[in-house]
């Protein structure tokens, strides 16, 4: 792979994998217990599948968001936080399972996807069952407001994904539309995680709003990281097949930025080649490096994240703010590990 | 098509299409208004799709069940009935949209399926959005119990569909397993429609249980009708492609009964041919008629329906009972139209 040396600092030691704020580890352990206990409540034909998808999980970043935004000085774990964490994770897993059907992805978090292992029929139905389980926890958790916010966020996640799908192959798909899509498909679930967490933690109304705003921005930034990783990640580290987005014709910010920087005829050729599945990921990444694309996307990542951090500006006295800023640092460290 | 004349009465006039109990027409009209008003609450990219799926609808049998089981003497329309009706119809539509993706169906209710018209990606996501909308109405409708029952039923519908999918190609799939599957995939939503309707109507606890039991049996009977229609329906009348279940390797009761009645080696050949997609629907229907298969399935339909009617036995004085029995008559008339 051609990577100009100017973009790569000469590191003597490998960058360590970033870790989630350790203060919420007891919360996450409690969440895992609650989550695992859900398995036996599923009907027999679903149990093995649910066990599989629960085990091949990611970093639980959305549950972590719930716990960080709901953080109180004594580190108390509130039942509503556990319910909210389970709901957002279930919705997230449902969308992953369905995404993998649609993208024909083979690997996710280093394990075969449900769609690859059990077939697309089973994957579609399992996703539905996970959504239904989120509805069940919502109705068991007794808070109507929690349930309502969750439902709206879920619908907006679907709306974002649908917009992305409908725009595939649209030669005029713009950077503005890209941000619209990722705000919905990723930002919404991050935002509602913070909203529900902060509410469960009993924080003031203004902080709850600020936390939700932070969540939205963190989600946008996280998606930018994920979209960069599709081009220049290490499959072993990110745990999914490289170039999956590209192969499915998604015009993400790195690709849109490259197109913007190419002469008109080259840009048109590239758009056409991507839609025809004729692009080679290594060549493309090399061209991105030539044109400073990843550097520019990283700057946008930074500015989006900073807007989120600034939303929390006036909450110095609240320990939840420190936890959320830790989490922003975690996502920033992920990008650093990817690009530095 | 070879149909022995003994199975077909010499009808001079065509059998009229059965109609739903006319007493609930005002309720259904109110439901349609509420349902149509939902469209504008969806995000822009979803609106056209939701409008399409709402318009190409079926007979609204599940909302009708809600209204019939919640019937009171004065014919009053209770808001909780409208919410419940919208929820069950949304879950039903979501499963239809996903089923059509999985079965590759082209027509549903005489219109192109969402999957055929907009592609499988959009269909999967639209189904998810419809499930999320059901969750939203549940949380807006304020009754935790309604919401909880709905969530459990939805999960069981998915479990039934998954069991059916996992059993495809299992040469030992039995009649008992078939009934297990259809109780979940169809019976559950019919049962919860009755439960929610009867609860909203303010009926006694014992009647609510009886209504749910009736709903379960009606759902089973309705599925038997639907499975017979896959073999001997009139595409124009039933509005979907004939042989869809057969083509996707589903062993429904007509097929399982034929297999039971064939000599062992013929049965094994037939199982193999179905799984290899080598069966011809006309030949198969002729063989079913030779062996009295549809007659036998119809008898089972009758006995399942009668168990449901008997569950309502002691509720003579309750007008809701008469409405539900009308609905049983409606389903019976559908079968009569199909086979007589």
List the beta strands (DSSP E) in chain B. Answer: 107-108, 111-112
Whether the CB-CB separation of B221 and B304 falls below 8 Å is answered with yes
Mutate to test the interface with A, among B139, B152, B157, B248 (most CBs of A within 10 A): B139
Averaged pLDDT, B245-266: 91
Q: How confident is the model at residue A240 (pLDDT cuts 50, 70, 90)?
A: low
Whether the CB-CB separation of A49 and A126 falls below 8 Å is answered with yes
Residue A289 in tokens:
């490096």
With a cut of 50, say whether residue B5 has pLDDT above it.
Answer: no
Q: Structurally, how many domains does chain A consist of?
A: 1
| Residues of B whose CB is below 8 A from A165 | 119, 121-122, 125
Q: Say if the Cβ atoms of B154 and A134 lie within 8 Å.
A: no
Q: Say if the Cβ atoms of B124 and A98 lie within 8 Å.
A: yes
**Given CB atoms, is A170 within the 8 Å cutoff of chain B?**
no
Residue A111 in tokens:
């394990």
pLDDT for residue A109: 73
Q: Say if the Cβ atoms of B101 and A124 lie within 8 Å.
A: yes
pLDDT for residue A239: 60
Q: What angle do CA A258, A261, A267 make, to 5 degrees?
A: 70
Q: What value of ipTM does the predicted structure carry?
A: 0.84
Find the range with the poorest average confidence among A60-64, A194-198, B150-154: B150-154
Tell me what the pLDDT averaged over chain B comes to: 88
- Quote the CA–CA distance of B248 and B235 in Å, as a whole number: 17
Q: How confident is the model at residue A265 (pLDDT cuts 50, 70, 90)?
A: very high
pTM: 0.88
Structural element, H or E, at residue A108: strand A107-108
Averaged pLDDT, B285-310: 96
- Counting one residue from chain A and one from chain B, the pairs whose CB atoms sit within 8 A come to 155
**Given CB atoms, is B47 within the 8 Å cutoff of chain A?**
no
**Given CB atoms, is B142 within the 8 Å cutoff of chain A?**
yes
Whether the CB-CB separation of A223 and A78 falls below 8 Å is answered with no
Candidate from B44, B129, B142 with C-beta closest to A144: B142
With a cut of 50, say whether residue B15 has pLDDT above it.
Answer: yes
Surface of A (223-262) touching B: CB under 8 A: none
Candidate from B122, B158, B166 with C-beta closest to A132: B158
CB-neighbour burial class of residue B236 (10 A; exposed 0-12, middle 13-18, buried 19+) = exposed
Candidate from B46, B125, B136 with C-beta closest to A148: B136
Whether the CB-CB separation of B164 and B250 falls below 8 Å is answered with yes
Whether the CB-CB separation of A63 and A49 falls below 8 Å is answered with no
Whether the CB-CB separation of A196 and A175 falls below 8 Å is answered with no
pLDDT for residue B308: 98
Question: Residue B17 falls within a domain, yes or no?
Answer: no
Q: Which CATH number characterizes residue A128's domain?
A: 1.10.600.10
Displacement of CA B45 from its chain's centroid (Å): 29
Whether the CB-CB separation of A156 and A180 falls below 8 Å is answered with no
Mutate to test the interface with B, among A48, A125, A142 (most CBs of B within 10 A): A125
Averaged pLDDT, A320-339: 94
Question: Residue B9 falls within a domain, yes or no?
Answer: no
Q: Say if the Cβ atoms of B162 and A122 lie within 8 Å.
A: yes
Q: How confident is the model at residue B295 (pLDDT cuts 50, 70, 90)?
A: very high
Q: Say if the Cβ atoms of A128 and B152 lie within 8 Å.
A: no
Q: Helices marked H in B168-280 — which ranges?
A: 175-182, 188-200, 205-232, 235-238, 244-247, 253-261, 264-275
Question: Residue A321 falls within a domain, yes or no?
Answer: yes
With a cut of 80, say whether residue B24 has pLDDT above it.
Answer: yes
Averaged pLDDT, B184-192: 97
Question: Residue B15 falls within a domain, yes or no?
Answer: no
Most confidently predicted of A98-102, A154-158, B1-5, B321-325:
B321-325
- Quote the CA–CA distance of B313 and B309 in Å, as a whole number: 7
- Kindly report, residue by residue over B54-69, the tens digit of the pLDDT: 987 688 999 999 999 9
pLDDT for residue B239: 60
Other beta carbons less than 10 A from residue A332's beta carbon: 17
- Kindly report, residue by residue over A288-298, the tens digit of the pLDDT: 999 999 999 99
- Quote the CA–CA distance of A223 and A213 in Å, as a whole number: 16
Averaged pLDDT, B310-315: 94
With a cut of 60, say whether residue B151 has pLDDT above it.
Answer: yes
Other beta carbons less than 10 A from residue A51's beta carbon: 14
Mutate to test the interface with A, among B38, B39, B44, B45 (most CBs of A within 10 A): B45
Whether the CB-CB separation of A154 and A91 falls below 8 Å is answered with yes
What 8-state DSSP symbol labels residue B42?
S
Whether the CB-CB separation of B207 and B320 falls below 8 Å is answered with yes
Q: Say if the Cβ atoms of B138 and A138 lie within 8 Å.
A: yes
Candidate from A42, A122, A163 with C-beta closest to B165: A122
Tell me what the pLDDT averaged over chain A comes to: 88
Question: Residue B78 falls within a domain, yes or no?
Answer: yes
Residue A99 in tokens:
């995404």
Q: How confident is the model at residue A236 (pLDDT cuts 50, 70, 90)?
A: low
- Quote the CA–CA distance of A212 and B155 in Å, as a whole number: 30
| Residues of B whose CB is below 8 A from A101 | 124
All residues at 6 or more sequence positions from A262 whose CB lies less than 8 Å from its CB, including other chains: A270, A291
Q: Say if the Cβ atoms of A129 and B102 lie within 8 Å.
A: no
Question: For residue B149, what is the nearest residue in chain A, using CA coordinates?
Answer: A136
Question: Residue B110 falls within a domain, yes or no?
Answer: yes
Averaged pLDDT, A99-123: 83
Nearest to A82 by CA among A20, A22, A141, A155: A141
Q: What angle do CA A212, A218, A220 make, to 5 degrees?
A: 105
What 8-state DSSP symbol labels residue B34?
H
Surface of B (70-109) touching A: CB under 8 A: 94-95, 98, 101-102
Q: Say if the Cβ atoms of B124 and A133 lie within 8 Å.
A: no
DSSP A247-314: HTT---HHHHHHHHHS-HHHHHHHHHHHHTT---HHHHHHHHHHTTHHHHHHHHHHHHHHHHHHHTTT
What proportion of chain B, given as a percentage, has pLDDT over 70? Answer: 93
Q: How confident is the model at residue A220 (pLDDT cuts 50, 70, 90)?
A: very high
With a cut of 80, say whether residue A144 has pLDDT above it.
Answer: no
Q: At what angle do helices A205-232 and A188-200 cross, to 10 degrees?
A: 140
With a cut of 60, say whether residue B14 has pLDDT above it.
Answer: no
pLDDT for residue A142: 57
- Kindly report, residue by residue over A48-90, the tens digit of the pLDDT: 999 999 987 688 999 999 999 999 878 889 898 999 999 999 9
What proportion of chain A, given as a percentage, has pLDDT over 90? Answer: 58
- Quote the CA–CA distance of A203 and B2 in Å, as a whole number: 74
Q: Which domain holds residue B287?
A: 22-339
Question: Residue A16 falls within a domain, yes or no?
Answer: no
Question: Residue B16 falls within a domain, yes or no?
Answer: no
CB-neighbour burial class of residue A264 (10 A; exposed 0-12, middle 13-18, buried 19+) = exposed
Question: For residue A43, what is the nearest residue in chain B, using CA coordinates?
Answer: B159
Mutate to test the interface with B, among A88, A90, A130, A132 (most CBs of B within 10 A): A132
């Amino acid at each position: 792979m051609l990577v100009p040396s100017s973009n790569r600092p000469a590191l003597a030691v490998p960058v360590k994998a970033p870790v989630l704020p350790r203060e919420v580890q007891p919360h996450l352990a409690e969440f895992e217990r609650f989550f695992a206990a859900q398995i036996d409540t599923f009907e027999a034909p679903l149990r093995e599948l649910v066990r599989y998808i629960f085990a091949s999980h990611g970093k639980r970043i959305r549950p972590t968001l719930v716990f960080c935004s709901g953080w109180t000085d004594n580190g108390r774990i509130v039942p509503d936080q556990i319910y909210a964490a389970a709901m957002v994770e279930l919705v997230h897993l449902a969308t992953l399972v369905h995404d993998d059907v649609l993208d024909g992805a083979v690997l996710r978090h280093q394990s075969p996807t449900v769609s690859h292992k059990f077939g697309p029929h089973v994957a579609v139905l399992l996703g539905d069952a996970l959504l239904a389980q989120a509805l069940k926890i919502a109705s068991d958790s007794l808070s109507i407001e929690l349930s309502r916010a969750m439902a709206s966020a879920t619908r907006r996640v679907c709306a974002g994904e649908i917009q992305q799908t409908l725009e595939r192959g649209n030669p005029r798909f713009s950077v503005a539309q890209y941000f619209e899509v990722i705000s919905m498909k990723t930002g919404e679930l991050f935002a509602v995680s913070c909203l529900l967490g902060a509410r469960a933690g009993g924080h003031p109304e203004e902080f709850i709003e600020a936390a939700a705003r932070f969540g939205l921005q963190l989600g946008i930034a996280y998606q930018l990281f994920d979209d960069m990783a599709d081009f220049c990640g290490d499959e072993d580290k990110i745990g999914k097949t490289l170039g999956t987005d590209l192969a499915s014709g998604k015009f993400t910010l790195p690709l849109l930025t490259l197109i913007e920087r190419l002469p008109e005829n080259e840009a048109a050729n590239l758009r056409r080649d991507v839609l025809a599945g004729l692009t080679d990921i290594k060549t493309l990444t090399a061209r991105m490096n030539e044109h400073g694309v990843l550097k520019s996307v990283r700057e946008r990542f930074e500015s989006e994240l900073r807007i989120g951090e600034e939303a929390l500006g006036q909450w110095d006295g609240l320990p939840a703010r420190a936890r959320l800023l830790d989490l922003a640092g975690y996502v920033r460290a992920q990008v650093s590990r990817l690009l530095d």
